[in-house]
Structure 1
C-alpha cells in the first residue's frame, strides 16, 4: 500500500470517526435544545471557524508543506527552526484572535439578527460567541504541532488527538447541557453557551495527547538534525517569507465552508423575513447549517483526510519533478473522492426524509427532509474543492486556489439574498452550490493548464461510478416502495430508522458489489481491499 494511501486512510479514518461522533451526538443534543438551540449553536461556530483560520493564518498546513520540502532535501535543521518560530507566532495570534472575537461579539450579533420578536436574539448570539472564543487561546498551538508531524508524514498524532478532542468535547456538551437544563433548571441559551465552551475543554485534551507524542518522537527528531550533512542555513527572515508565501492561500481555502455559513448568517434571517417566511427561518436554518449539515459533511470527510495526507507526498513529487508520480497521485486523489462521495451523497438525497426523521424529528419533514435532500449533493462540491485546492497548493499554485475561492464567495455574497427570497430556504443551498461549483471549475482548469494534465482516465471512471450509483439509486427506490407496504416510515420514527438501515444497507451493498466485481475499487485504490471482499463474502 502506498505511503499516501496509508496516510489517507489513517487521517480519513480519524476524520470520519470524529465527524461520525459529531453527527451522532447531535441526536441527544437535539432532544435537549431543539431547533432553536441548534441554530444558536451554529451561529457561534461559523465566526469561530473563521477566527481559527485567521489566528493560524494558514501556518500549520504551510509548516507541513515546508517541513516536507526541506526534509526531502535533507535539511532537518531548517524544518525544526521553522517549527519553533511558528509555535511562538501561534501563541500570539491565538490570544489576539480571542480578544478580538470576545470583544466584538455584540457587534457581530447585531448585524446577523433583525428584530427582537424572534426565537434567537442578538444578545443570545453574542453570549455563545464569547463562550466559544476562549478556545482560540489553545487551538492554533495545537494545529501547528499537527502540521509539523504531518510534514514528517506521521499522521498518527493528528488522528489520535482529533479523536480524543472530539470525545472529550462531546462528553462535556451532553453532560453540561443535561445538568444545566434538567438539574439546575437553566435556559437553552445557557446550555448552548456552555456547549460551545466545550471546544476549549476538548482542545486541552488534545494538548495532552500531542505532548505525549512529542516526548516520544523528540529523540528521533534530534537524531535527524545531528546526522544531516548539509543545511541551507536560511536566515530567519527568509524562512518566514517562504512560510507566509505558503501560508496565505491556506487561510482562505480553509475558510470556504465557514464563509458560506457566515454569509448565510448575515443574509438568511433578513431575507426570509423580507419574503414573508420568518415563521420557519429558525427550523430551516438549523437544518442547513447545523443538523442537516452534520449528515451531509460525513461523505466529504474523506476529502479532508485525503487533502492533508496528500500534500506532503505531492509536494515532494513535484519538488523532485517526478511527473509520473504526481500524475498518479492527483488521479488517485480525485478518483477516491468520486468513488465514495458520489454514491454517499446520492443515497442521503434519496433517504433524506428517513435520515432526518430517524435521527432528529418526524415533524415537518416536508421542510426538513426536503432541505436535506437538496443539500446532500453539495458534499461532492465541498470534497472536490478541498482536494483540488490541496493539489494546487502541492504544485505551488496556491495563489490560484485563493482566486477561485474569492470568485465563488463573491457569487454567494451577490446572489444569496435574492436566491433566498426567490426560492425560500433552498435559495441558501443554491447559493452555496453556485459558489463552490465556480471554485471547483476554476481549480480544475488551473490544474489542467499548469501541468498539462489530462483528466481522461478520471472522466471515464467517473462515468462508470455514475452508472453504478444510478443502479444503487434504483435499488433504494424499489426498497422504499416495497417497504412502504409494511412500514409507516413517513409517520413513525422506529419505521424511519428501519427504512434508513434497509435502504442504506441494500443500496450500499449493491454499489460495493458492482464496484468490487468490476475491479473499479482495485484500480482506484491500487490493489484489492480485503475488508470489502470479506463484507461481500468473497
Structure 2
C-alpha cells in the first residue's frame, strides 16, 4: 500500500469526521431553539456519561484492531487478522451488553451524581433520559470494531461512509422527534430530550447496516487473500489479546479525556453555583454552554486540525523502531506545528467574537452576553484538547504510552482540585479556567516526556509557534478593527442575521490576513510539507 494511498484514506476519514462534527454542531441551532438551556443541560446529563461508557466499553480497541490487522496483513498472515477480528467482535459484543446493563440499571445513580437537589431537573427525568441513550451501547462497540478491521486493510471508505450515515440518520431522527413532541403534540421537554438521546441508537443501527453491506461486498476479496496465505504465526488467544490491549491503551485516553472533564463540570457546577445563590436559569445556561452548545462549536477546529496532524503519525512508529531519529523529529514537529498553525488563530478568533458567534448560532436573548462570554473563555481550551490528542498518539509511537495515563490522571486531579475554588472566585467561568489549566498541565507533561525520552529538540516548534503567535496577534488586531468599524452600523444585539454578517466580514478579513502572512512567510509550506497549490495559482507564485 503506497504512502499516497494511505494519506488519501486518512484524508477521507478526516473529511468524514469533520463533516460529522460539523452537522453535529449545526443541529444544536434548532435543538436549542426548541428545548432551551434546560433541555441542553438535561441532554448533557445523559450524553456525557454515555460518552464515558462508550470509551470504556470500546477501550480503544477499534483503532487498536486497525493497527493489529495492518501489522499482520503486512506480514502476509491474513488468518491471524481475521481471527483477531472474530475474537474482538465477540469480546466487544459482550462489553457492549455489559455497558448497557450497567448504564441502564445504574441510570438513577448517574442522575443523582450529575444533578443537584436544587436543580429544576428531576431525578426521574434524568433517569429516563439516561436509560434512553443506554440502548446505543448494545450496538456501537461491536460496530466500531468492524470499522477498525476495514481500516486495518487501509480501506477507509466503510468507516467514513458509515460515520456520515450514522450522524445524518441520528440528527434527522433527533430533530423530527423533538419537533413532533414539542410543537405538534405539546409534550414535555424531558420526553423530547429522551427521544433526542435515543437517536444515538437509531443512528448506530443505520451505521451497522452500512458496514454489513460493505462486509458482504468485500468478503470475497478478503477470503481470496486468506486462501493465498502461505504462513501463519498461530499465536495463542491470550497473547493476541495482550498485544491488542497494549495497542488500545493510548486510544482510550484520547476518548476519555474530554468526557471526564465534562462529567466533573456536571457534578460540581450546579451544586457549587447553587450554594453561591446563582439562580436556576444562570446555572442551566452555564452547564448547557460548557457541556453542549458552546462545546460543539469549539470542537470543530479540533476535529480538522487533529485529523490533519494525526495523518502524519502512521509512519512514526516505523521510524522510531528503525532508529531514524531525524525522521521521528520531523514527524513530531509537523504534527505539533499543524495544531498550532490551525487551532491557535481559530480559538483566538472565537474568543474575540464570542457574543457574535453565540448570536449567529443561537439567536439574541437576555443571556447572549453571559453565554458569549463563557464561549470566549472556553475557546482556548480547544488548543490544549487538540494538543493532548496528538501528544498522546506521539507517546504511543515512541513507546511511552504508559506516561499518557499519568499525565491524564494529573490533569483530572488538577481539574477536580481547581474547579470549586475557581467557581467561588470567578463564578461560572471558573469551571472553564479549571479545564484550561488542567489540560495545559496535561499537555505540558506529555511534551516534557517526549523531549526527555528521545531528546526531542523544541527549538523549531517554539520558533514556529512564536511566528504563528505573531501572525495571530496581527489577525486579532484586524478582526477587532473590523468589528469596531462595523459597530457604527450593527452590533451583536441587533439580531441573528446581523451577527452572521459581522462574522462573515470579520472572519473573512482576519482569515485572509492570517493566510496571506503564513503563505508569504513560507510558514504554510514548511509546516504542511509542500506548496499550497490553489494559493500558488491565485498569487501566480512560481515554483522555485
Report Cα offsets for 1:253-277 as digits up to 9, x if no partner.
3200000001111111111011222
Secondary structure of the residue that 1:485 maps to in structure 2?
coil
Alignment partner, residue 272 of structure 1: 273
What's 1:522 paired with? 525
Contact 2:162 2:207 in 1 (8 A): yes
Corresponding position of 2:52: 50
Is 1:460 paired with 2:467?
no
C-alpha deviation, 1:122, in angstroms? 2.0
Judge which range, 248-257 or 217-226, deviates more: 217-226
1:496 equivalent in alignment to 2:499: yes
1:14-413 alignment, distance < 5 Å: 14-115=16-117, 118-279=119-280, 280-306=282-308, 309-310=311-312, 312-363=314-365, 364-413=367-416
1:481 and 2:478 are equivalent in the alignment = no
In 2, Cα distance between the equivalents of 1:20 and 1:346?
A: 19
Q: Cα distance 1:216–1:306, how it changes in 2: closer, same or farther (>3 A)?
A: farther
Give the superposition deviation at 1:244: 1.7
Q: Deviations over 1:376-434 (max 9, x none)?
A: 01110000000111111222221111111011011111221222122111111111112
The 10-residue stretch of structure 1 (140-149 or 404-413) with the greater mean CA deviation from structure 2? 140-149
Give the TM-score taking structure 1 as reference length: 0.95
Q: 2 CA distance for matches of 1:536 and 1:140? A: 48
Whole-Å separation in 2 of the counterparts to 1:494 and 1:449: 51
Quickly say closer, same or farther: Cα 1:535–1:183, change in 2 above 3 A: farther
Alpha carbons of structure 1 residues 32 and 251: separation in structure 2 relative to 1, 3 Å: same
Deviation string, structure 1 residues 312-370 (Cα, Å, up to 9, x no partner)? 43334434444444333222211221111111111111111100011103222221111
Shift of 1:148: 1.9
In structure 2, relative to structure 1, the CA distance for the partners of 1:464 and 1:148 (3 Å cut) is: same
Which of 425, 440, 445 is 1:442 aligned to?
445
2:409 match: secondary structure: helix
Match of 1:410, SS state, is helix
Whether the aligned pair in 2 keeps the contact of 1:4 and 1:313 (CA below 8 Å) is no
- C-alpha change, 1:352 and 1:181, in structure 2 (3 Å) is same
Q: How far apart are residue 175 of structure 1 and its match?
A: 0.5
C-alpha separation between the residues in 2 aligned to 1:53 and 1:285? 22
CA-CA distance at 1:300 after TM superposition: 0.4
Aligned residue pairs: how many? 537
Q: Is the 8 A contact 2:115 2:270 kept in 1?
A: yes
Q: Identify if the C-alpha distance between structure 1 residues 256 and 120 changes in structure 2 by more than 3 Å, giving closer, same or farther.
A: same
Q: Which moved more, 1:9-18 or 1:164-173?
A: 9-18
- Contact 2:250-2:392 at 8 Å conserved across structures: no
* More divergent stretch after superposition (182-191 vs 299-308): 299-308
SS in 2 for 1:387: helix
Residues 161-208 of structure 1, C-alpha deviation per residue, up to 9 Å, x if partnerless? Answer: 111111111101111100111112111110010000000111111112
Structure 1 residue 45 displacement after superposition = 0.7
Cα contact 1:151–1:312 (8 A) shared by 2:
no
Alpha-carbon shift at residue 46 of structure 1 (Å): 0.6
Mapped partners of 2:443, 2:127: distance in 1: 34
Partners in 1 of 2:300 and 2:125 — Cα distance? Answer: 29
Unaligned runs of 5+ in 2: none
Alpha-carbon shift at residue 52 of structure 1 (Å):
0.6
Q: Which runs of 5+ in 1 are unaligned?
A: none
- Structure 1 residue 57 displacement after superposition: 1.9
- 1:254 partner SS: helix
2:441 matched to 1:430? no
Cα distance in structure 2, aligned partners of 1:17 and 1:128: 27
Q: 1:303 touches 1:384 (CA, 8 Å); kept in 2? A: no
Deviation at 1:303, TM superposition (A): 4.6
Contact 1:269 1:281 in 2 (8 A): yes
Question: What is the alpha-carbon distance in structure 2 between the residues aligned to residue 305 and residue 142 of structure 1?
Answer: 21
Alignment TM-score, normalising by the size of structure 2? 0.94
